[in-house]
A = this chain, B = another copy of it.
């Protein structure tokens, strides 16, 4: 096991009706800015419930944070937060609203006169303060509700980049599985794929004999495999929604990644696909992961075999057969959720691969993966194999 420093201070308020706990989490003298996305939280009534819970506080709203939240949109909220002296941000929505709100939190208190895009250029390392924030989660997927990371896009340049800072770790997260009943199937499926790949990025590397981390990761994968399809078939099955929601949070709160190597190449290659072609985040992961597993089968051999056995119960056949079967099972799982696993399924013929590689290079993504051996040439082979 590798050394680690694990800090998971976000308070989780989980379950039906947990909105009742919201008021007590926010300082009584706070000036609150509620942030949300395209308006589904209005239709579902969640936003009303939030307002009701916050009665008596100074509350403003900022809506319209898009999927793959953009610098351009978020800077409007930054101006509002500064002008209105906001002291608490409450993200109501999914990972995009969370991530966007993290950017608002840090950017609003970034030095005047410095363009907050620097936060992305410096991966968050220069952040020294932020407006405290919490969330009411409506879409289980990214884990952003209890970690310190965010991914922000920039329309003008087609960039999609990440930052991390302890200053933007949410103080609390309200997780009510009932809020997820009304999600479109596509978002449910995307969320399951996203959480699955988050787990894989921290698990499918090389063994360091970290048995708890491995067992926990496998537990998350098994849960997603069991519950993901059910979440689509029985949208109002509370326990299924609860298990998916908790799995997604656990997949990226730092716990399973503590003390183990991490990959994240699938995410980096996926980000470029989203930025260039507009595919949903999870849709890109489902395309890249199977191709990457195959490309790195030598380097990931031991963990691929462990994954085959413990997650998919594949125990017969030679090593390469078992690895093939595990990759096929992964692909089949994504497709069973309605998420395609080939570029061709999106009418992409691979002609953009040179441009994708250029973007990867621009973003410094030339030595990816747990061994930093996914060079641009390897990335090219992965994109090509994903056609």
Contact = CB atoms under 8 A, between A and B. Distances in A.
Interface string A206-224: 0011111011101110110
A195 to B, nearest CB: 11
A115 to B, nearest CB: 32
Interface stretch (A4-12, A66-74, A151-159): A4-12
Interface stretch (A14-22, A344-352, A372-380): A14-22
B220 A218 contact: no
B212 A250 contact: yes
Interface stretch (A41-49, A126-134, A181-189, A240-248): A240-248
Contacts of A15: 1-4, 259
Contacts of A3: 14-18
A258 B14 contact: yes
Contacts of A255: 255
Contacts of A226: 211
Interface in A263-291: none
A227 interface: yes
A70 B87 CA distance: 46
A214 B247 CA distance: 12
| Interface-central residue, A1, A227, A255, by most chain B CB under 10 Å | A1
Nearest to A238: B1
Contacts of A258: 12, 14
Given A258-B14, A259-B14, A259-B15, A1 B243 contact: yes
Contacts of A53: none
Contacts of A227: 211
B12 A242 contact: no
A365 to B, nearest CB: 29
A6 B16 contact: no
- For this chain, the copies found in one complex come to 2
| Interface-central residue, A16, A216, A239, by most chain B CB under 10 Å | A216
Interface residues of A, number: 42
A13 interface: yes
A223 B215 contact: yes
Given A7-B11, A11-B7, A212 B16 contact: no
A215 B250 CA distance: 12
Contacts of A16: 3
A11 B6 contact: yes
Contacts of A259: 14-15, 242, 246
Contact of A215 (B13, B14, B215, B239): B215
Contacts of A216: 215-216, 219
A12 B7 contact: yes
Contacts of A211: 219, 222-223, 226-227, 243, 247
A189 B239 CA distance: 37
18 contacts: A3-B15, A4-B12, A5-B11, A5-B12, A5-B14, A6-B12, A8-B9, A9-B9, A209-B239, A210-B242, A210-B246, A211-B226, A211-B247, A212-B223, A215-B216, A216-B216, A219-B219, A242-B259
Interface of A: 1-9, 11-18, 21, 208-212, 214-216, 218-220, 222-223, 226-227, 239, 242-243, 246-247, 250, 255, 258-259
Given A215-B215, A216-B216, 13 more contacts: A2-B15, A3-B14, A3-B16, A5-B12, A5-B14, A5-B21, A6-B12, A15-B259, A208-B239, A209-B243, A210-B242, A212-B220, A216-B219
